[in-house]
Structure 1
Amino acid sequence: MIRLSGSFSFSSFPQRVLWVRRAFILVGLIVLLRSLYMQVVERPALELLAERQHNQIKSIKLQRGPIFDSLGKILAVSLPMNSIFAIPGEVEDVEKTASDLSEILKMDPVVLIKKLKAKVAFTWLKRNNKPQVSEIIKEMQLPGVHQLVEYQRFYPLENLAAQVMGFSGIDSQGLEGLEVYYNKHLMNGKKHQFDLETINLIKDDNKYSGGALKLTINTQLQYYVAKELQIAVTAMKAKHGIAIVIASDSGKILAMANIPDFNPNHFERFGQATYFNRAVASVYEPGSTFKVITIATAIDNDVITPNDIFNCEKGAYQIQDRVIHDIGKYEWLSVDKIIQKSSNICAAKIGQMIPRPVFYKKIRDFGFGSTTRVGLPGEVRGRVFDYQKWSETDVATMSYGHSISVTPIQLISAINSIATGGILLQPYIVEKVLKADGSLIPQKKRKEKRIIKAETANVVKNFMVGVTQKGGTGYSAHIPGVEIAGKTGTSKKFNSKKGEYTSENFLSSFVGFFPANAPKYTVLIIIDNPRQKYLGYKSASPVFRKIAQQMIQHESNINPSKMDELPLPIDIKNILFEQGAVEEINEKNLPKTIKSIRSRVINKTMREVLKVGTQTGLKFKILGSGKVFSIQSSNQLPYDYLVKLK
């Protein structure tokens, strides 16, 4: 008899078959459930993946709307540029393609090879290329290499009002300044739809996709302001400079400058700190310019009269553990002389006389502790502590501009209320918001509020005129024949490491308006941490005077009687010529005969030929490489001439 080793027995075989069947059924169920899951749950994601792999739709941002100054001059515009991309699966010879492109695109061939070998449906090679580059690549007819029109933001006036304008990135998305604040409006939320399978735009529109902005900024005045501010900051070895000019009767911002500035066309070359618009986003202790607010509050609430006289303690006055000093050792000063001589001691005494709830309310009425809603990103509120937390020292020092933090835009708005007869106007920088077709989008009515009596404003204005007269701290702002109302300011900067105010760092300022009898312009100058001439009357006041002189001399350019309507849409070529980006195309520039053309291009390189094309407006079809040896008229539209190189 044959015996089988092991535990196997024929009697257990049916059970083993049963278990195998069960296993097959279980596996089948798992496969079925997975299939159902993919069909129902993962189907949308899989379809999207398939679309990306086989028929990718690429979204390209449309053209941003333009930004103009108050006279219709272009501050920002989007220009059509050709961007080069590849579909790696279509590239036949990666190494040769990379070699051919590297010189034209000025890119490392190793980088290009990596891009062309990438396991993706789409890859950018180089975006926003000049037309000459685009033409050359088009002639090369490289398999898998394509191009499409994108839009590059261009700032014709470069650094001018850079912190106000801000900039947009390579995908036309606003990143800083007005570009980000009005991004939705300028973009209008639309995109190009680009089909990678057919290499065609699904939707194209040559008009602006977004709306336009017309600003209150006057570029001529902005130039004067920025120039004088730059000179002052450099000469005084200061850290920063800020200047704001507003139309006194309306609150329009005519100029807003920050030094250092930057070129938004090449924003990546500058540090992020330079993007910061300190005119609205920085806070500082205003120093003696705040005495105007203290004295206006006291007079308006009948705490003092304009004829009162105060003891100035011969230059030193102790409150609790603090000794307050004046530069001059004055004995007695009337209220107008307190402003003219800028007495800290007398301002502190007047501040202490004002009931705290009254003082606090009036400070808030002047706009401190709240944003002005000027229409710029990053605006902050400043800091005004609740009056219930004020100590005697706080009240005293706040009266001459310490223990309170304000923004430059808040201060100029508050002082401008003296120029308007006691009415606080909302400052603004965008005059009009327009749709893509040029029609006006209605804006909310700008706020205005009476905060002091007209009589009070008139009295304080006359006090401020005395500041710029002989004997006043702001005499360096004086202009013969023009009555100027102003106030100097010098404040020590708080050293957070030492926990005290030091005599090492100062902030100097001057704020004023002119002509005093019928104010047109209000101007604020701030010089941050000047290493030379740190007092306000030595640093900021002279800058005010120089800017005011320019404004008086060129007033017809600042405030024209009639403004042209905005030209929408804009002719891009005219923009480029107007801003000096290309040379004028006229009869003088155009060669008359092929002989004169030949003399300009024979033995020239491809780059030199393209430059001639830019200068003359002629289009060349270029064949070969090296230098030009032949030129003839072209019968192939849109080319004017056929140029051969070897």
Structure 2
Amino acid sequence: MKFLKPTFLNALDSYSLRKKNSGKVKPRVRRGSSTVTKSWGNIARILLVWLVLMSGIIALSYRLYHLQIVQGEKYFNRAQAQQQTNLRPYVPRRSIMDANGNVVAADQLVYDVYAHRILLGESVENVARALVEVIPNGDLNDLIQKINGQETGVLIARGLSEGEADRIEALDIVGVDLDQRYDRYYPQDDLLADILGYVDMDHNGQAGIEYSGEDLLERDLFSPEVRSMLRVRRNAHGAIIPASLPEKATDLDDLSLKLTVDLRLQRAVRDRLRVQMEQFKAKKGAVIVLDAQTGGILALACEPTYNPNRYFNYDFALFKNWSVTDTYEPGSTFKPINVAIALDEGVINPNSYVSDPAQVTIDGWPIANASRTGLGTVTITKALDVSSNTAMIDMMRRIPRERYFQRLEELGINRPMGLDLPFEGVGFLKSKQVFTARDIEMAVSSFGQGLSLTPMKLVQIHGAIANGGKLITPHVVEGLVDANGDIQVLPDIQETQVFKESSADAVVKMMESVVENGTGAVAKIENYNIGGKTGTAQKHDGQGRYSPTARITSFVSILPTDNPRYVVLAVIDEPQGDSLFGSTVAGPIVKDVIQSLIRLKGIPPSQ
């Protein structure tokens, strides 16, 4: 019994142990070779992962090489196209103001209206009826024809104001678009057209100071290449990144172009010229008012003219300022200039006498006074009073031909003046060989025929008589001024002494007598000493003959004669009717302009 108990207990322990370990499988580990197998498996797995990673790196590296090296330029250009854009910068032209600071030309926002018939949600007739109520001077039938002209992109109105554009937008018409742009605006319409000119659809000046003053009116922020096409960067939403703009891209100066022209005087000149043009049914006319001391043009008007806001509606021929571009034979308005030359040359003095027959014959050519009468022997002053042709011939024959020709050349008749207005015409003076060959050339030049000049040139020379003998370049630009009105840039004005001061002063007094006692009496104004000279010239037909009917009438005046400052010239080409003389056609214009000048400039009565 004592031997069985341990055995029985051992069996129970063995059974309990097996039951406890049931469900668990213990690995049977073999020493030696089993350890080596486990190590090689780990290495294989690591190697496999490494190969996968290396393959990925190689593939990515190849792809990066292909993208950045092989196709790098292609994708770089594509990225730049997405991130950058070409911007054509709009740089406003400088405004233009008159002598008193009134803006007469400026850039403004305008709108063009386009219709797309293919997109219209209603009938063309209904759309046209709605638009014609808004578009200035719109015509219903014209609008209907325009819209029906093509299916899309029809320009039906341009240059509408912001208010008019708002009204069209409020109509909410599908198929009607508004295109915004900047345009040059002239608030005075045609009042200053002959001076200002106009700007075309591309914002380029085409006439007047808009053309000749381009360098003063354009703000030079960039070089021409940069200004024409500016490259800027955009963000992800397409907006321009400000930091990408070149330096000074938005830095505009406050300078404006200031003119010498007085808007108030210009209006008086324009209105008076139109009245006389209509009365005499003239071909064309011009009035110029000059400050002889400075060379500044205070007023300049030509008729017919045009509205620079609607330049496309006018004949191209109207865009030139004919008082600057066209030449004519000045006739008797040139006589005071010849008197100044004769005084300078010492062949006469203010008290000299000359012969005034009714007619003389020079080189076989009969030349007579307009009145067909003569006064015998007269003073130089009297010769101007009655505008004697024969007396002028007697006076100028005392000067050698070569010397007379030289003096005419010194006045610059056949050379440009250097105006700041464009397309300046140059006068005609015969060659020295022709001019000095016979007396007839000198004879006809003595009373303003046989040579030609522009009205502006005639004003310049009379300005020299008024200011003591100095030939000053006429100009309309006073300079570039800042916001405070201070001039920052001045024009280059030339000045040349062409007459002795004593000669010029003597001629002014003689011209005063013409108004007091002679043919210029139409310009007389009580309590004011005014000088003047009439001109009635036959028109040359360009074929060596003078027209028996066509005339150019003119009147030039200097005032006040006790302190000469202003020159006024009126020229009327081919007036129609009776009594067609400088005193009857051009003289009344000059008188009215002088009266306006007296009021506006506060000219006191003469002592």
Matched residue type, 2:212? Y
Q: Residue 95 of structure 2 contacts residue 105 of structure 2 at CA under 8 Å; is this kept in 1?
A: yes
Matched residue type, 1:483? N
**2:363 aligned with 1:316:** no
**Distance apart, 1:543 and its partner CA:** 1.4
Q: Which residue of 1 aligns with 2:110?
A: 81
SS of equivalent to 2:409: helix
Pick which of 482-491 and 326-335 moved more.
Answer: 326-335
Q: 2:153 aligns with which of 109, 115, 118?
A: 115
1:73-119: per-residue Cα shift (whole Å, max 9, x none)? 11111111234679x9xx9x745499697654857333462439xxx
- Give distance in 2, aligned partners of 1:138 and 1:235: 47
**2:545 aligned with 1:507:** no
Alignment map for 1:399-418 (pairs within 5 Å): 399-418=446-465
Q: Residue 85 of structure 1 contacts residue 147 of structure 1 at CA under 8 Å; is this kept in 2?
A: yes
**Distance apart, 1:141 and its partner CA:** 8.4
Alignment map for 1:294-373 (pairs within 5 Å): 294-313=338-357, 315-328=358-371, 329-330=373-374, 331-373=376-418
1:568-614: per-residue Cα shift (whole Å, max 9, x none)? xxxxxxxxxxxxxxxxxxxxxxxxxxxxxxxxxxxxxxxxxxxxxxx
When the two chains are superposed, the root-mean-square deviation of aligned CA atoms in Å is 3.8
- Give distance in 2, aligned partners of 1:154 and 1:194: 29
**2:599 aligned with 1:553:** yes
Q: Residue 114 of structure 2 contacts residue 153 of structure 2 at CA under 8 Å; is this kept in 1?
A: no
Alignment map for 1:144-223 (pairs within 5 Å): 149-188=180-219, 190=227, 212-223=256-267
Q: Which residue of 2 aligns with 1:641?
A: none
Q: Residue 63 of structure 1 contacts residue 210 of structure 1 at CA under 8 Å; is this kept in 2?
A: no
**Distance apart, 1:62 and its partner CA:** 3.6
1:15-71: per-residue Cα shift (whole Å, max 9, x none)? xxxxxxxxxxxxxxxxxxxxxxxxxxxx99xx99x98xxx99574744322110000
SS of equivalent to 1:412: helix
Bigger CA radius of gyration: 2
Q: Residue 62 of structure 1 contacts residue 151 of structure 1 at CA under 8 Å; is this kept in 2?
A: no
What 5-or-longer segments of structure 1 have no aligned partner?
1-42, 117-123, 560-646
SS of equivalent to 1:468: helix
Q: Residue 312 of structure 1 contacts residue 332 of structure 1 at CA under 8 Å; is this kept in 2?
A: yes
Pick which of 66-75 and 343-352 moved more.
Answer: 343-352
Going from structure 1 to structure 2, the CA distance change for 1:327 and 1:83 (only over 3 Å counts) comes to closer
Q: Which residue of 1 aligns with 2:422?
A: 377
Q: Which residue of 2 aligns with 1:481?
A: 527
Q: Residue 336 of structure 1 contacts residue 463 of structure 1 at CA under 8 Å; is this kept in 2?
A: yes
TM-score w.r.t. structure 2 length? 0.73
SS of equivalent to 2:451: coil
Going from structure 1 to structure 2, the CA distance change for 1:443 and 1:350 (only over 3 Å counts) comes to same
- Give distance in 1, aligned partners of 2:229 and 2:123: 28
**Distance apart, 1:137 and its partner CA:** 6.7
Q: 1:419 aligns with which of 430, 444, 466?
A: 466
Matched residue type, 1:74? V
**Distance apart, 1:364 and its partner CA:** 2.6
- Give distance in 2, aligned partners of 1:436 and 1:186: 15
Alignment map for 1:508-523 (pairs within 5 Å): 508-523=553-568
Going from structure 1 to structure 2, the CA distance change for 1:302 and 1:132 (only over 3 Å counts) comes to closer
- Give distance in 2, aligned partners of 1:208 and 1:437: 16
Q: 1:541 aligns with which of 587, 597, 600?
A: 587
Pick which of 277-286 and 260-269 moved more.
Answer: 260-269
- Give distance in 2, aligned partners of 1:176 and 1:304: 45
Q: Which residue of 1 aligns with 2:96?
A: 67
**Distance apart, 1:525 and its partner CA:** 0.9
**Distance apart, 1:406 and its partner CA:** 0.5
TM-score w.r.t. structure 1 length? 0.69
- Give distance in 1, aligned partners of 2:367 and 2:447: 10
1:371-404: per-residue Cα shift (whole Å, max 9, x none)? 2222100111211123221132111101110010
SS of equivalent to 2:516: coil
Q: Residue 514 of structure 2 contacts residue 531 of structure 2 at CA under 8 Å; is this kept in 1?
A: yes
Q: Residue 193 of structure 1 contacts residue 201 of structure 1 at CA under 8 Å; is this kept in 2?
A: no
**2:284 aligned with 1:237:** no
- Give distance in 1, aligned partners of 2:95 and 2:269: 24
Going from structure 1 to structure 2, the CA distance change for 1:201 and 1:474 (only over 3 Å counts) comes to farther
1:522-570: per-residue Cα shift (whole Å, max 9, x none)? 11111111113321112112211111122223324x99xxxxxxxxxxx
Aligned length: 498
1:452-511: per-residue Cα shift (whole Å, max 9, x none)? 2111112212111111012x11111111211111111111001236x4112211111111
Going from structure 1 to structure 2, the CA distance change for 1:540 and 1:135 (only over 3 Å counts) comes to closer
SS of equivalent to 2:289: strand
Q: Which residue of 2 aligns with 1:262?
A: 306
Going from structure 1 to structure 2, the CA distance change for 1:408 and 1:202 (only over 3 Å counts) comes to farther
1:113-156: per-residue Cα shift (whole Å, max 9, x none)? 2439xxxxxxx786543335544676788999876642122111
Matched residue type, 2:289? V
SS of equivalent to 1:175: coil
- Give distance in 1, aligned partners of 2:127 and 2:238: 20
- Give distance in 1, aligned partners of 2:576 and 2:114: 52
- Give distance in 2, aligned partners of 1:353 and 1:371: 29
Q: Which residue of 1 aligns with 2:572?
A: 527
**2:389 aligned with 1:389:** no
Q: Residue 121 of structure 2 contacts residue 173 of structure 2 at CA under 8 Å; is this kept in 1?
A: no
Q: Residue 365 of structure 1 contacts residue 451 of structure 1 at CA under 8 Å; is this kept in 2?
A: yes
Q: Which residue of 1 aligns with 2:516?
A: 469
- Give distance in 2, aligned partners of 1:181 and 1:336: 42
Q: Residue 62 of structure 1 contacts residue 191 of structure 1 at CA under 8 Å; is this kept in 2?
A: no
- Give distance in 2, aligned partners of 1:202 and 1:152: 27
What 5-or-longer segments of structure 2 have no aligned partner?
1-72, 136-142, 221-226
